[in-house]
Structure 1
């Protein structure tokens, strides 16, 4: 069994506007995905903390960008979920602008992890986010979530489908199958983060 990587994180601040982003020299790893894709659960699995990111049954509960400093010399950034229709149109637009301001313009951001539910085909908003990052020249990884819900053959097929979608993408760094239930992908993701953080330092 691979040596377990222990990581701890501490909340720094939440931001609802770009001017509220913290001043920091640490490289930042961002997590983003559709509402209820399992982002909070994956973050909590990543840092082995059951309450670091709030897990909600209400899609779209995370309404600000939350910054956490880790003991691995990087900042973990939890972005609002996108694509949940029960918010007002103005609210959705505000979050869209907030997300875009962060992922396209934040100098400290070294990779954006886009979470995609492995049980379904990538949704139009997922593809739009990937395209935005690619056209913006920003590095990103695709994290397939809830992979424990798929049989092994179906998971292999889904991963290949996603890889085929992004085969010509210049700024994709990896596609990582994950599960918050089983811990699948945790070591691979932490290793990826460590390499990118070391490259940026």
Structure 2
């Protein structure tokens, strides 16, 4: 599909795509499970989309914006410390998985160690996991911790999609450079989805398009 932001950074869904996304994310979304160990994971069932990103990247805000609920996903009081997978049922058609933030005042090696356990095994072995949405902050440079997680996603052979957050906080020229950088990063990694989404949970920019993209992964 063609770009909706000038340049080959994202895609332009049809009106039908946008409506499908709107209807899906208008459904009830409820928390139903939290897991801190592999043997505590819920039984695989619905298709799953997992959300990952550095602490303070705006992951909780994005999940809340997608679902139209202000407090569905809550930020941890200790950024980068909560090692739990939180599962949300979206209208019995799709499961949203909120992964713990990473890289808060941590070296890349520490991120790797934290994610080598539950996180990596979940990514590698979950048969219903359709995609990981990996968030990158438009305001700051791509960190080594982001590249470390991308490497882990490549190793886990999981399809992932790069989503730029907080685009309302940067000027258009800087945003265009950021999107070009992220798009180039996606092209270097075979497991990365080629479509890069630019979003703002504050203004709602890009939210309908991301809903439409994720709706394609849900049950009919």
TM-score (norm 2): 0.80
| RMSD of aligned Cα (Å) | 2.5
User: What is the deviation of 1:61?
Assistant: 5.5
In structure 1, how many angstroms separate the alpha carbons of the residues matched to 2:168 and 2:79? 21
Between 1 and 2, higher relative CO (CA 8 Å, sep ≥ 6) is seen in 2
In structure 2, how many angstroms separate the alpha carbons of the residues matched to 1:75 and 1:196? 10
Q: Does 1:74 align with 2:94?
A: yes
Of 10, 17, 24, 2:30 maps to 10
Deviation readout 1:140-194 (Å, 9 max, x if unpaired) = 0011111110112211110011111221322222211111101111111111111
Which deviates further from its counterpart, 110-119 or 160-169? 160-169
Q: Is the 8 A contact 1:148 1:179 kept in 2?
A: yes
Which blocks of at least 5 consecutive residues in structure 1 are unaligned?
none
Which blocks of at least 5 consecutive residues in structure 2 are unaligned?
1-14
1:27 aligns with 47
Counterpart secondary structure, 1:75:
strand
TM-score (norm 1): 0.87
In structure 2, how many angstroms separate the alpha carbons of the residues matched to 1:47 and 1:8? 8
Q: State how many pairs are aligned.
A: 197
User: What is the deviation of 1:56?
Assistant: 4.7
1:125 aligns with 145
Deviation readout 1:100-128 (Å, 9 max, x if unpaired) = 11112211110000111111121111112
